[in-house]
Amino acid sequence: TDLPRSPPAAAEPRHASPAAPRRLREKLRTAARMAGPPAHTAPGSRLQVQGGERRAQPATGAPPARETRAPFRFDYERFRRSLRHPVRGRRPGEDPETRARRMKIKEMMKFAWDNYKQYALGKNELRPLTKNGHIGNMFGGLRGATVVDALDTLYIMELEEEFQEAKKWVEKSFDLNVNGEASLFEVNIRYIGGLLAAYYLTGEEVFKSKALELGEKLLPAFNTPTGIPRGVINLGRQDTRSLFSPCSGMSWSWGWASAGSSILAEFGTLHLEFLHLSELSGNPVMNIRKVLNRVEKPQGLYPNFLSPVTGNWVQHHVSIGGLGDSFYEYLIKSWLMSDKKDSEAKKMYDDALEAIERHLVKKSAGGLTYIAEWRGGILDHKMGHLACFSGGMIALGAEHAGEERKQHYVNLAAEITNTCHESYARSDTKLGPEAFRFDAGSEAMATRLSERYYILRPEVVESYMYMWRLTHDPKYRQWGWEVVKALEKHCRVEAGFSGIRDVYTTTPTHDNMQQSFFLAETLKYLYLLFCEDDVLSLDDWVFNTEAHPLPVNHTNFKA
């Protein structure tokens, strides 16, 4: 679904670019240049490098200016040799039922992709009822969100022909020379994450060059007094002539965000992807953590809104669901991605989880454990579908807690995952609502009409996948299979999969949207639930918040 937009007129004056983004910009430009040219240039022109900028020049007989060697090269072959497991696993003998269920999920992915390709290729998402494409306003003129989101899922599922179709579209049709306002968060997790994952899985240079070129376009969002980025970025061409012009490279905050603030889940969900942009370009990434470490945390909690100008909290609303969710996820995952060397991220995660457990984790009268929301000290006893990722996150962190705490966190993760399962089990469709509450005698059910919908979200099956990998309790596979059957019964339509408007009726109305994250996340996590543990092993890979696998940094791969 589209997010509200803030008009360009609402943008505040730009501030001088911090040194780190400027250095990274130059490195990204060079690395993108050496990795390969963009797919689109104007007819009759060529790209010429002048003073670190890329500008279209009229074609002449003279050869283009060219650097003879890259100052930095990532050694892909060495990286692949460092992996502890084959990307797609070794596939030892397995029981026929598990294989049949995995093949069913693969068929669902092929069905979703084939219909997108037939009716909406090049658009961002498929509208399966009307059999056309949807562009939306989150991506600043970028197209093909479903293509980029689907790349790694197609590859992992060994849908080779479909993967080549997607790769060909990226090579021939994915145009980055767009001019529009985009969500920094969404472009980062879907496009940057998807392109990086596709590169690391395949070694195809086109994915790396596109990721680096697009990463450069996101950097003006960091041009704030604190280095905390604003939420919206204009993706127009950015060179030194236009960097401060009103129509290019400008950023601003969401119009609905409190007092021009940046959102915790958005600026806190950049580290994994930008770390890998740095890895591939050879330049250190900017780090927003020093601001977060400095600012006072009420009760040890991180509120959802922070001023990018002052670096102070704007209001004290705390949520593990929307607005806050993936910030916490990226703390533990930053530590894992660093091969457990990023002790700062681990300490921030441990401290945050301790505060969450102390203030937000509650148990209902019926014995269900849930994570409430906190509004200036007053608890709101609801849990969003988005917060259901937390079972998997806590399980992932539990693996690396001290022995005395490990079982405690495994139990907490299992209890929260069970609560999220109950939100599915208590609906007529066996799919969960957007939010569910624990008040007025109702437990794990939506009590408001506006919260009854299901838009193919992945967070519950994400936690099933992690809980399966970490406990091998067969109930998680059974719960995942219940979701597969519900999706087939209630969300599959003639030309794809659609969200539904009310999970509490067995004849639901469809919302006519096949979300790109359904292919990136929901189907990938379901597929991995029925795979052996060495397929995208957690020893080698960390999933970004769009389920794009990024590698654990076992060593330095500078060539």
Where in the sequence is the domain holding 382, given as residue range(s)? 79-237+247-551
Which of these, 341, 333, 223, lies nearest to 273 by C-alpha position? 333
Residue 320 DSSP label: S
**Neighbour tally for 91: CB within 10 Å:** 12
User: Mind spelling out the 3-state secondary structure of 492-527?
Assistant: EECCEECCECCCCCCCCCECCCECHHHHHHHHHHHH
> Residue 346 falls within a domain, yes or no?
yes
pLDDT digits 0-9 by tens, 108-152: 999 999 999 999 999 999 999 999 999 998 999 999 999 999 999
> Residue 65 falls within a domain, yes or no?
no
**Neighbour tally for 459: CB within 10 Å:** 24
Q: What angle do CA 209, 210, 212 make, to 5 degrees?
A: 65
- The Cα–Cα gap between 71 and 49 comes to 15
What is the reported pLDDT for 520? 98
As beta bridge partners, residue 317 has 375
**Neighbour tally for 369: CB within 10 Å:** 19
Looking up residue 191, the CATH number of its domain turns out to be 1.50.10.10
Which of these, 467, 550, 466, lies nearest to 87 by C-alpha position? 550
What is the reported pLDDT for 402? 83
- The Cα–Cα gap between 191 and 309 comes to 27
Q: E-strand spans in 307-411?
A: 313-315, 317-318, 361-363, 369-371, 373-375, 378-380, 382-384
Which of these, 551, 552, 457, lies nearest to 497 by C-alpha position? 457
Q: What 3-state DSSP class applies to 473?
A: coil
Tokens encoding 154: 């197609």
- The Cα–Cα gap between 238 and 9 comes to 19
Q: What is the number of domains present in the chain?
A: 1
- The Cα–Cα gap between 148 and 142 comes to 11
Tokens encoding 300: 């040890």
> Residue 378 falls within a domain, yes or no?
yes
Any alpha helices (H) in 426-491, and if so which ranges? 459-471, 475-486
Residue 189 DSSP label: I
What is the reported pLDDT for 490? 98
Tokens encoding 500: 């539904």
> Residue 489 falls within a domain, yes or no?
yes
Residue 30 marked in a binding site? no
As beta bridge partners, residue 523 has none
Query: Which residues are known to be catalytic?
Result: 186, 325, 434, 459
Torsion of CA 195, 201, 204, 210, to 10 degrees: 10
What residues contact 46, with CB distance under 8 A and at least 6 apart?
56, 57, 59, 64
What residues contact 100, with CB distance under 8 A and at least 6 apart?
none
What is the reported pLDDT for 11? 28
181 vs 187, 212, 230, 232, 249, CA distance in Å?
A: 11, 19, 12, 6, 10
Residues of the chain with pLDDT under 70: 1-72, 237-259, 284-287, 556-559
> Residue 104 falls within a domain, yes or no?
yes
The radius of gyration of the chain from alpha carbons, rounded to an integer in Å, stands at 23
- The Cα–Cα gap between 468 and 1 comes to 30
How long a stretch of residues is the chain?
Answer: 559
Which of these, 477, 501, 481, lies nearest to 491 by C-alpha position? 501
Which residue bears the tokens 């937000």? Answer: 360
The alpha carbon dihedral of 333, 338, 339, 342 has a sign of negative
Residue type at 4 in one-letter notation: P
Which residue bears the tokens 């940057």? Answer: 192
> Residue 218 falls within a domain, yes or no?
yes
What is the reported pLDDT for 26? 55
**Neighbour tally for 355: CB within 10 Å:** 18
What burial class does residue 513 get, using C-beta atoms within 10 Å of its C-beta: 0-12 exposed, 13-18 middle, 19+ buried? buried
> Residue 52 falls within a domain, yes or no?
no
Which of these, 142, 156, 88, 151, lies nearest to 116 by C-alpha position? 151
What is the reported pLDDT for 238? 53
Q: What 3-state DSSP class applies to 84?
A: coil
